[in-house]
């Protein structure tokens, strides 16, 4: 089953009273798109490893809501733990 906003809320340890559904939906959509862009045609919303990568990206986006001097940078790529999870599904642009 694909991820839901409630899955993201649980992962980020939001209390039910604190959930702002549109904000979490936006975070989840952005995280899912980042994973889709990385694995391209190998994306499968039912894949547990890819779901974990989406949840990790949600945590990253939640923690780094703004850009400042302490925001980690990886030259526009995914954070290393997420890349490690997705390495099996990565489709290089040039072979």
Query: How many domains is the chain partitioned into structurally?
Result: 1
What is the extent of the structural domain holding 16? 5-89
User: Per the domain annotation, does 94 fall within a domain?
Assistant: no
Q: What is the 3-state secondary structure of the chain?
A: CCCCHHHHHHHCCCCHHHCCHHHHHHHHHHHHHHHHHHHHHHCCCCCHHHHHHHHHHHHHHHHCCCCCCCCCCCCCCCCHHHHHHHHHHCCCCCC
pLDDT value at 8 more than 80: yes
Q: Is the pTM of this model over 0.85?
A: no
User: Per the domain annotation, does 95 fall within a domain?
Assistant: no
User: Per the domain annotation, does 37 fall within a domain?
Assistant: yes
Q: What is the pLDDT of residues 16-46, one digit of tens each?
A: 666 677 788 889 999 999 999 999 889 999 9
């Amino acid at each position: 089953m694909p991820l839901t906003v409630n899955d993201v809320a649980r992962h980020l340890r939001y209390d039910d009273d604190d959930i702002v559904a549109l904000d979490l939906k936006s975070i989840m959509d952005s995280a899912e798109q980042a994973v889709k862009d990385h694995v391209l045609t190998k994306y499968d919303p039912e894949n547990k490893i890819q779901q974990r990568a989406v949840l990790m990206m949600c945590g990253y986006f939640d923690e780094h809501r703004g850009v400042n001097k302490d925001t980690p940078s990886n030259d526009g790529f995914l954070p290393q733990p997420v890349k490690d999870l997705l390495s099996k599904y990565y489709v290089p642009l040039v072979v």
